[in-house]
């Protein structure tokens, strides 16, 4: 079905609103089915992601020019107004008149009798743009200000504020709404010179620059479409955030070792560990879903890796036959995901505060099982893609209080605005000869 960029973005927002779908997957589906390419595709992505990232502020501003409350609007009207307001407030290349006129066209098609209402609200916004009232930052409720200005649920703002303070919190929230470039990991098993790697990527239309702080890690300048990349299909690289790559590197696996990856899908860290081991040894990779096991197996096959044994297993269930067997265990734990909001903006709307306590319990149980699997003198690596201290350093503190005989030898916290990749936490512990689990 042929669509304009604005119509594609609107349909994506409607599906997100109705089905609680994730915007990235929805946009890929809609743009592919509507055959949007080039500038139109980029514009559609900008509009859809921009609205998802800034929806609280957009609704806050729209409400100042509408007699109808946001919660009483139909989904099409609300989404059309958000798209129009985003263009007026955030895009320099779209004239305000075009933003209004195109929104009215969408309203006539998707909201019938509401076209006049949409036109009135957006024209009012254009006239009153210099008189928009925002929450009071100085002397007011700072968490409310951050919540509205950066469009985050208040509970997330409060958690980050309590953990890191006001200044750091604001930087984190602001950075999460900015667009960031993707990272790729070059398959070190190929052992190609840097010049050949760059040439192969360029032949695929990929403009990438080698990072200086992480080996085999490149940042992509522009859009990355792996479906059109022969170098990807042939196993030259994997798509993996820089911070995620650091977790595998700090695990520091050696060729010939037996390693357990407790929460492995989709296999980014698993295959990276195998590459770091020169494809020698054995990696046992767990996940609870059959289709995710296939993702791991497919990734290994594409990269030319044959030392990974992927099994369907719930990491919460201890396997006695593995106790004391692993040289290293990686627990890339289920978490709130608040470190990857810059790439997955709708996480902040899907995640609820009560999820954090549930996830903390899961993390602790998986860690306790992992502790049993590590042999004396072996290593346990714990990582998350969140920045909440309750899921990170406090989780490790609780673990060490329960499990005697572990020594923390490395702890690393990564933030998008300081380190470039996702927000991440990594802790590496060594199992000493004497070990006791207080839960046994």
The answer to whether 238 touches 274, Cβ cutoff 8 Å, is no
- Of the pLDDT bands very low, low, confident and very high (cuts 50, 70, 90), residue 438 is low
pLDDT at 140: 74
Q: Could you tell me the domains of the chain?
A: 5-131 (1.10.940.10), 142-176 (no CATH), 183-239 (3.30.70.1170), 242-437 (3.40.50.150)
Q: How many CA atoms lie within 13 A of 175 on its CB side?
A: 19
pLDDT at 437: 63
> What does the angle CA 286 – CA 289 – CA 294 come to, to the nearest 5 degrees?
80
pLDDT at position 440 over 80: no
SS3 4: coil
- Of the pLDDT bands very low, low, confident and very high (cuts 50, 70, 90), residue 413 is very high
Q: Stretch 54-71: mean pLDDT, rounded?
A: 96
pLDDT at 21: 84
CA distance 74 to 373: 54
pLDDT at position 20 over 90: no
Which range, of 19-33, 160-174, 242-256, 270-284, averages the lowest pLDDT? 19-33
pLDDT at 162: 97
pLDDT at 19: 84
pLDDT at 132: 93
CA distance 178 to 61: 20
pLDDT at position 234 over 70: yes
- Of the pLDDT bands very low, low, confident and very high (cuts 50, 70, 90), residue 360 is very high
Of 340, 335, 337, 283, the closest CA to residue 306 belongs to: 283
Taking only the tens place, the pLDDT of each residue in 87-108 is: 999 998 899 999 999 999 999 9
Taking only the tens place, the pLDDT of each residue in 275-330 is: 999 999 999 999 999 999 999 999 999 999 999 999 999 999 999 999 999 999 99
Which range, of 16-30, 189-203, 371-385, 395-409, averages the lowest pLDDT? 16-30
The answer to whether 86 touches 51, Cβ cutoff 8 Å, is yes
Q: How far is CA 245 from CA 249, 273, 327, 424, in A?
A: 6, 9, 20, 11
Rg (CA), the chain: 24
424-437: strand order across its sheet: 308-312, 282-287, 258-261, 326-332, 374-384, 424-437, 403-414
pLDDT at position 51 over 70: yes
pLDDT at 439: 55
pLDDT at 436: 62
Residue that wins the pLDDT comparison between 227 and 151? 151
């Amino acid at each position: 079905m042929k669509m304009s960029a604005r119509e594609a973005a609107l349909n994506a927002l409607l599906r997100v609103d109705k089905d609680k779908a994730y915007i990235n997957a929805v946009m890929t589906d809609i743009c592919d089915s509507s055959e949007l390419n080039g500038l139109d595709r980029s514009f559609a992505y900008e509009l859809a992601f921009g609205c998802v990232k800034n929806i609280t502020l957009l609704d806050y501003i729209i409400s100042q020019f509408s007699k109808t409350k946001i919660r009483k609007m139909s989904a099409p009207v609300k989404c059309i107004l958000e798209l129009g307001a985003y263009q007026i407030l955030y895009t320099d290349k779209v004239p305000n008149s075009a933003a209004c006129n195109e929104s009215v066209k969408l309203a006539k098609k998707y909201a019938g009798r509401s076209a006049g209402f949409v036109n009135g609200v957006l024209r009012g916004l254009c006239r009153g743009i210099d008189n928009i009232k925002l929450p009071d930052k100085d002397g007011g409720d700072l968490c409310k200000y951050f919540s509205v200005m950066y469009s985050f649920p208040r509970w997330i703002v409060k958690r980050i504020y309590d953990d890191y303070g006001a200044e750091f919190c604001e930087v984190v929230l602001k950075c999460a709404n900015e667009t960031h470039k993707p990272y790729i990991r070059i398959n070190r098993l190929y052992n190609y010179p840097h010049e050949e790697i760059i040439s192969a990527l360029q032949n695929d239309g990929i403009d990438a620059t080698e990072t200086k702080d992480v080996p085999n890690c490149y940042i992509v300048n522009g859009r990355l479409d792996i479906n059109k990349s022969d170098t990807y299909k042939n196993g030259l690289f994997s798509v993996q955030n820089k911070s995620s790559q650091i977790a595998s590197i700090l695990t520091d696996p050696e060729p010939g070792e037996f390693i357990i990856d407790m929460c492995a899908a989709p296999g980014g860290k698993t295959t990276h560990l195998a590459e770091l081991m020169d494809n020698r040894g054995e990696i046992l990779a767990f996940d609870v879903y059959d289709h995710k096991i296939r993702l791991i197996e497919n990734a290994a096959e594409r990269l030319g890796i044959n030392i990974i044994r992927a099994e369907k297993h719930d990491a919460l269930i201890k396997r006695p036959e593995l106790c004391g067997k692993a040289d290293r265990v990686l627990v890339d734990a289920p978490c709130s995901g608040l470190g990857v909001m810059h790439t997955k903006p709708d996480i902040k709307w899907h995640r609820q505060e009560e999820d954090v306590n549930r996830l903390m319990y899961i993390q602790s149980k998986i860690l306790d099982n992992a502790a049993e699997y590590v042999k004396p003198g072996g290593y346990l690596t714990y990582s998350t893609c969140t920045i909440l201290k309750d899921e990170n350093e406090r989780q490790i503190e609780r673990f060490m209080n329960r499990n005697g005989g572990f020594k923390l030898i490395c702890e690393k916290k990564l933030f998008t605005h300081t380190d470039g990749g996702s927000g991440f936490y990594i802790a590496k512990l060594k199992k000493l000869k004497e070990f006791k689990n207080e839960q046994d």
